Amino acid sequence: MKVSRSKTEYMCVNEREGSGTVRLQGEEVKKVQEFKYLGSTVQSNGECGKEVKKRVQAGWNGWRKVSGVLCDRKISARIKGKVYRTVVRPAMLYGLETVSLRKRQESELEVAELKMLRFSLGVTRLDRIRNEYIRGTAHVGRLGDKVREARLRWFGHVQRRESEYIGRRMLDMELPGKRQRGRPKRRYMDVINEDMKLVGASVEDAEDRDRTLSTWGEGDGLSSAFSESRDAAGLFLVMELVLSDQVKFSTR
């Protein structure tokens, strides 16, 4: 294997003073504070703020590509929701199943999503339409629920792998030493434990695929009132937002 000196970079995680440098054939290798790996941005301080901003940007880029469909008044809200879930949302969720999101970052993603949905349905915040109604009309569940679902599903995949699998080893690894003083950072397993507690699941559920699917679900994270069956014969009817001049929204 040959390594290009000009293209080689390295990054230190939680670097301390005087950590030294890395040299390759006598030349110092460039040190960076972040880099992109498999489409995701990894930061040296362990944060994911920049990755969240890039996911929001990727979502808007996808939305603009299909805005001709999403903003067409002749197309029903249900079809717009399907297009959104197929094209836009996957770009926003890419790689987030392995990230320990904070509430603020999750809220940042949801705010961007609701802006897209409101644009698509032709309404603004001045219309005083609740977010739940916007999501229900477009058949789009809360993005936070979908992120949690993807995170738990990925955790289940890793738990069912053999103990020598690199992902399983990294997930079970415990670093020696004590954590720094002050409020500890939110670790990935802290988020997983919160997710499992919220859905009433356990690690044993993750090791059983059938139990995982029945407990955590495979849908779009919709609430029971707006859940959509995978069986075509069981598709339910919900109130659609009629985008015409004849409809007026109540502001009461």
Can you give the pLDDT at residue 245?
34
- pLDDT band per the 50, 70, 90 thresholds, residue 184: confident
Q: Give the whole-angstrom CA distance, residue 111 versus residue 71.
A: 19
Check residues 223 and 21 and name the one with the higher pLDDT. Answer: 21
Query: pTM of the full predicted structure?
Result: 0.72
How would you classify the pairing of strands 30-31 and 9-10?
Answer: parallel
Give the lowest-confidence range in 12-16, 33-37, 109-113, 145-149: 12-16
Can you give the pLDDT at residue 3?
75
Listed residue (146, 28, 46) closest to 97, CA to CA: 146
Check residues 15 and 252 and name the one with the higher pLDDT. Answer: 15
- pLDDT band per the 50, 70, 90 thresholds, residue 224: very low
Q: What is the pLDDT of residues 123-182, one digit of tens each?
A: 988 888 899 999 999 999 999 899 999 998 888 888 888 888 888 888 877 777 777 777
Query: Per-residue pLDDT for 119 more than 90?
Result: yes
Q: Give the whole-angstrom CA distance, residue 42 versus residue 102.
A: 16
Distances (CA, A) of 95 to 24, 41, 81, 191: 32, 10, 22, 15
> Two tokens at 6?
């000009």
Can you give the pLDDT at residue 187?
82
Return all residues near 133 (Cβ < 8 A) that are at least 6 apart: none
Q: What is the pLDDT of residues 204-221, one digit of tens each?
A: 777 777 665 555 554 454
- Work out the mean pLDDT of the chain and round it to a whole number: 77
Can you give the pLDDT at residue 23?
82
Q: Give the whole-angstrom CA distance, residue 105 versus residue 53.
A: 9
Q: What is the pLDDT of residues 83-92, one digit of tens each?
A: 999 999 999 9
Query: Per-residue pLDDT for 241 more than 80?
Result: no
Q: What is the pLDDT of residues 22-65, one digit of tens each?
A: 887 777 888 888 888 888 888 877 788 889 999 999 999 999 99
Can you give the pLDDT at residue 235?
23
